[in-house]
Structure formats: structure tokens, C-alpha cells
Amino acid sequence: QDGAARSFCRQLADMCEISGMDFSKEPLLPPLCTRPEHVERALKAHYQDAMSALKPLGRELDLLIAILPDNNGSLYGNLKRICETDLGLVSQCCLAKHVFKTTQQYLANVALKINVKVGGRNTVLVDALSRRIPLVSDRPTIIFGADVTHPHPGEDSSPSIAAVVASQDWPEVTKYAGLVSAQTRRQELIQDLFKVWQDPQRGTVNGGMVRELLLSFHRSTGQKPQRIIFYRDGVSEGQFYQVLLYELDAIRKACASLESNYQPPVTFVVVQKRHHTRLFANNHNDQRSVDPKSGNILPGTVVDSKICHPTEFDFYLCSHAGIQGTSRPAHYHVLWDENNFTADGLQTLTNNLCYT
């Protein structure tokens, strides 16, 4: 019912206000109810009504709250597709069961999600504010993260999806922007990091995900990154140098396309989670090296000797507390380092980034 929807939106607005957001207590338009098969038409019409009210004021629509049935099938995906690709609108979906039985914890969790979606920060490291994060705080630095998701075996027509995120603030390195791109199925190299194509009107056009994110960093901070740190997930050892050669070249070309002599130093790190190495405390009764609840090693534990490569720059880092089961440390391989980082500095930075 409209009453339940209004009450839920008011409670959510109150929680967002308490959390520190500037949040309107009343929605711009009254709640609209529609059947799942009509959602696209209704959503676009409702959006046009909202923009008609906001355009004269020179404002945009900030947020759509959608209350979905508990078993909604493809409705969630359809709604996200329309909002993300057709309307360019930030949306927050909630299930009906939470509307009827709302708790303060649920509202607080949703408020955190909304804050990030509309460009806010939920957490900032104290060391970032006081400019004490190693390898980042001394000069403008952009942190990239990249991965490729492949279709399941048997899905012959689905492409692989490449995703790249990059920090958009400095020195906090807490806000990240993300881009995704479909590419040839089962291709591990990210094909759209940098690309060049011919346009009939504009001639030769440069683009690609790294270039877009570098430009976005400059718009957000007013500065060009003087250092690039690139974390690459999901690469097997047999593909290390194939990925390094192709993607490092793409990063360099993206930088050069912005300014011919712009070549900030790059550190390229591969992160592996799918391995069989587990770390345990030597003395299980030592409270300084064991989590008393789970028995796992403490978050922040680093191993960079004995079980690591004898000549290459690699280390294991367990950056999160393991609540259930045995903690799985991430294995970091530094394949390329033009910044001449020390092992201690890179390990501390990586652990800090895992918290943000």
C-alpha cells in the first residue's frame, strides 16, 4: 500500500539524515505502483514527470527507490538495466518483506549503500587524512583494480566481461569509479584498456577504460596522477608476462594519448586468491598472533619469506579477519615496478587499501 511505501521512505530518509547525508524527507513524486511486465514503460514515464518538475530548477533526479516483490525473477535485472543504460539514474532496490518488517540495522545498511552510489564516502583511513599512507600520500597517485569474469562452461554465446575500477580522490583513495566492457569469450587480456578508432566526423579517436578513468581522476582532483598502481586479479602464472606486456603497453598508450610526454611510473601487481596455501600461527595459544574467536591468523599478517619465490617480488597478505572457516591469504606478485617500492611499503599500502 502507498502508506507502507511512504512510511518506509520516511524512515529511510531519517536514517540517511542521521548518517550525515543531505536527504529530502519527502519524495519528489508520490509512490507509483505497477505490474512487473509494465515496469519499463511506467519507469520511463515517471522519470519524465520528475524531470519536468526539476528541469526548470536546473536540477537532476538523484535517486530512485524501488520496492520489489520477494520473488521477483528478472524484474531486478530489468530495472537496473533501464536505470543504468537508458535513464542514467541511481537506483536502490528493497524487498517488500523488509518494508513491512523494517529494522534500524537494515535501514543503516541501505543508507550506506545509497551514500556510496550517490558519490559519498563511508570510511576514510585516519592515516589518509593525516597523509601518512606509504607510497600514496607524498604525490598524486591513482590505484587501479582490474579483473575479467568468464562465462560458465557450456554458455557458448556469452562474452567475457572485463571490469576496471580506479580511485577518484587523493590523498584519501576511498572513492572508486568503475567501468565494464564485454569482450571475446575466454579472453583473459583486457582488450579495452586503450583503443583507437576512426570516426567519420572527428577522425582518429582515442578511448578505453584506463584513459577514461585517468580523465575522471583529473576532473575529480584537479591533478594528473604522478604514480599508477595497478592491481590485476585472476591471472594464472602461465599468463603473467603475456598479460603484463599487453596491459602495461595499453596503460602507457592511454597516458601518452593525454599528453605526448606524460608517462607516470607504473607498478603492476597480480593478485591470486585461488591457491591452496593457508597460514597458521606457530603457537595456537599465543593471543598476539591468533584471533581468539575463530582461531585464524590476525588480519594484517604478511609472509614474504620461506614459502615465496626465491628471486621474484611476491608475498602473502591476509588483510581481513576470518569469521568462519580458515582464512585464505591473497598472493601478490609484483611483475613490474617503476616506482622502486620497498616490500614493507607495498605490503602496508595493500593492507590499507583492503580496508577502504
Query: How long is the chain?
Result: 356
Kindly report, residue by residue over 3-48, the tens digit of the pLDDT. Answer: 889 999 999 999 999 999 998 888 888 888 999 889 999 999 999 9
Long-range contacts of 217-224 (CB under 8 A, 24+ apart): 217/142, 217/166, 217/167, 217/168, 217/170, 220/168, 220/169, 220/175, 221/140, 221/168, 221/169, 221/170, 223/140, 223/170, 224/140, 224/258, 224/262, 224/264
Per the CB < 8 A criterion, the answer to whether 175 and 168 are in contact is yes
Inter-axis angle of helices 240-258 and 209-221, nearest 10: 50
Computed from CA positions of residues 33, 38, 43, 44, in that sequence, does the dihedral angle turn out positive or negative?
A: negative
Q: Give CA 179 to chain center in angstroms.
A: 9
Q: Which residues contact 274 (CB under 8 A, 6 or more apart)?
A: none
Q: Which domains does the chain have, with CATH numbers?
A: 1-118 (3.40.50.2300), 126-354 (3.30.420.10)
Question: What own/partner pairs with CB < 8 Å and gap ≥ 24 does 70-77 have?
Answer: 70/95, 70/96, 70/97, 72/36, 73/36, 75/36, 75/39
Q: What is the mean pLDDT of the chain?
A: 92
pTM for the full predicted model: 0.88
- pLDDT tens string 284-322: 888 888 988 888 999 999 999 999 999 999 999 999 888
Which residues make Cβ contacts (< 8 Å) with residue 254, sequence separation at least 6? 193, 194, 206, 208, 210, 211, 214
